[in-house]
Structure 1
Amino acid sequence: MNGEGIVRRKGARQAVLRALLFTVLGLFCLVYLMPLVVMISTSLKSLAEIRTGSFIALPREVTFDAWAKAWNSACVGVRCNGLAPYMWNSVAMVVPAVVISTFLGAVNGYALTKWRFRGADTIFALMLFGAFIPFQVVLLPMARTLGYFGLAGSTYGLILVHTVYGLAFTTLFFRNFFVSVSDGIVQAAKIDGAGFFAIFFKLMLPMAVPTIVVTVIWQFTQIWNDFLFGIAFTVGDSNPATVALNNIVASSTGVKEYNVDMAAAIIAGLPTLLVYVLAGNYFVRGLAAGAVKG
Structure 2
Amino acid sequence: MTLGRFGLYAFLISAALFFSVPLYVMIVTSLKTMPEIRAGGIFSLPQGLDLSAWKTAWSGACAGTECAGVQAGFWNSVRITLPAVAISVLVGAVNGYALSFWRPRGGTLMFGLLMAGALVPYQVFLYPLVRWFATGHLYNSLPGIVLVHILFGLPLVTLLFRNYFVTIPEELFKASRLDGAGFWRIFAEIMLPMSVPMLVVAAMMQFTGIWNDFLLGLVFAGRENLPMTVQLNNIVNTTTGERLYNVNMAATILTALVPLVIYFVSGRWFVRGIAAGAVKG
Provide TM-score, normalisation by structure 2: 0.95
Q: Does 1:105 align with 2:92?
A: yes
Provide TM-score, normalisation by structure 1: 0.91
Could you say which residue in structure 1 is the equivalent of 2:272? 285
Q: Does 1:58 align with 2:58?
A: no
Q: Does 1:251 align with 2:233?
A: no
Q: 1:283 to 1:28 in 2, by over 3 A?
A: closer
Q: Does 1:33 align with 2:31?
A: no
Q: Does 1:196 align with 2:191?
A: no
Q: CA deviation at 1:254?
A: 2.2
Determine helix, strand or coil for the equivalent of 1:226: coil
Could you say which residue in structure 2 is the equivalent of 1:11? none
Q: CA deviation at 1:84?
A: 0.6
Q: 1:85 aligns with which of 51, 72, 87?
A: 72
Q: 1:291 to 1:157 in 2, by over 3 A?
A: farther
Structure 2: which 5+ residue stretches go unaligned?
none
Which residue identity is paired with 1:175? R
Contact 1:248 1:261 in 2 (8 A): yes
Could you say which residue in structure 2 is the equivalent of 1:4? none
Q: 2:118 aligns with which of 107, 131, 135?
A: 131
- Listed as ranges, the matches of 1:1-294 within 5 Å are 14=1, 18-19=5-6, 21-290=8-277, 294=281
Q: CA deviation at 1:119?
A: 1.4
Give 4+ residue runs of structure 1 displaced > 4 Å after superposition: 15-21, 291-294
Q: In 2, distance between residues paired with 1:36 and 1:84?
A: 21
Which residue identity is paired with 2:93? A
Q: In 2, distance between residues paired with 1:159 and 1:35?
A: 32
CA RMSD of superposed structures (Å): 1.6
Q: In 2, distance between residues paired with 1:122 and 1:292?
A: 27
Q: In 2, distance between residues paired with 1:274 and 1:202?
A: 31
Contact 1:87 1:240 in 2 (8 A): yes
Q: 1:95 to 1:193 in 2, by over 3 A?
A: same
Q: CA deviation at 1:91?
A: 0.4
Q: In 2, distance between residues paired with 1:117 and 1:237?
A: 41
25-34 or 87-96: bigger deviation: 25-34
Q: CA deviation at 1:291?
A: 6.7
Q: In 2, distance between residues paired with 1:178 and 1:84?
A: 40
Residue correspondences, number: 281
Q: CA deviation at 1:77?
A: 1.8
Q: 1:96 to 1:15 in 2, by over 3 A?
A: same
Q: In 2, distance between residues paired with 1:125 and 1:292?
A: 24
Q: 1:118 to 1:62 in 2, by over 3 A?
A: same
Which residue identity is paired with 2:47? R
Structure ID, larger Rg:
1
Q: In 2, distance between residues paired with 1:92 and 1:256?
A: 30
Structure 1: which 5+ residue stretches go unaligned?
1-13
